[in-house]
Amino acid sequence: MKLVITFLLALALSGCTSKTIADYSDTKPELALEQFFEGELTAYGIVLDRSGNLTRRFEADLIGTWRGNKGELKEWFRFDDGEKSTRVWQLEKTADNRYKGTAGDVIGVAQGETAGSALYWRYQLEIQYQGKPLEVTLDDWMYLVNEKRLFNRTEIIKWGFKVGEVILIIEKHDT
C-alpha cells in the first residue's frame, strides 16, 4: 500500500512542474521573430473565459517590418461583436534569443525569450472590462509550426489567477 501511495504522490507532483523556455531548446523549426514577423500575416483567434467558455472570436491583419535588431509589428483586430482595435508593437532583439517590446496598451516593457521553436513572452496589458480599464498579466507562449504558421496560447492572469485565455494561429502570406 505504501508503494501505491508513493507512486500516486510522485505522479501527482510530476504534473505540478512548470514548463520553461529551455524545455524547447531542441525543437525545430527554430523561431526568430525578425524572420517570422516580417511582411504580411493574418491571425485567427478565440477568447475564452476562466471556465474555458468561448466569449469572442477575432481576425487580425498584421504587418511586420525589421531593420537590423529593431522591428515594428502593426496589428488590426476585428472582433465578432463588431469591435475593432489596433496595436502597434515596437520590438527589439536585445541579445541572442531575447526580445523586448512596447505598445500603447502594454504597461512597461514586454520581455521575451526564444528557444528552438518556442517564444515565452510575459507582459502587463490594460484591457477594458465591463467598460472600465483593468490591468492584467499576459503569460504568452508561441510555437512555430512551420515557416508559415505560428500557434499562440496566452493565459490572462489577474491577482495570480487565470481569468481567461486567448488562442490563435498566425499565418504568413506568400511573398
- DSSP calls for the chain: -HHHHHHHHHHHHHTTPPP-GGGGTT-SSPP-HHHHTSEEEEEEEEEEETTS-EEEEEEEEEEEEEETTEEEEEEEEEETTS-EEEEEEEEEEEETTEEEEE-TTEEEEEEEEEETTEEEEEEEEEEEETTEEEEEEEEEEEEEEETTEEEEEEEEEETTEEEEEEEEEEEEPP-
The stretch 160-168 carries a mean pLDDT of 97
pLDDT at residue 17 tops 80: no
Tens-digit pLDDT profile for residues 132-151:
999 999 999 999 999 999 99
Angle ∠(158,98,88) on CA atoms, nearest 5: 60
pLDDT at residue 129 tops 90: no
How much is the pTM?
Answer: 0.87
Of the pLDDT bands very low, low, confident and very high (cuts 50, 70, 90), residue 29 is very high
The pLDDT score that the predictor gives to residue 14 is 46
The stretch 150-162 carries a mean pLDDT of 97
* Of 115, 111, 108, 117, nearest in space to 135 by CA: 108
Could you tell me how many residues make up the chain? Answer: 175
The pLDDT score that the predictor gives to residue 2 is 52
Tens-digit pLDDT profile for residues 66-82:
999 999 999 999 999 99
Q: Which domains does the chain have, with CATH numbers?
A: 21-172 (2.40.128.20)
* Of 173, 152, 171, nearest in space to 43 by CA: 171
The pLDDT score that the predictor gives to residue 54 is 98
The stretch 146-169 carries a mean pLDDT of 97
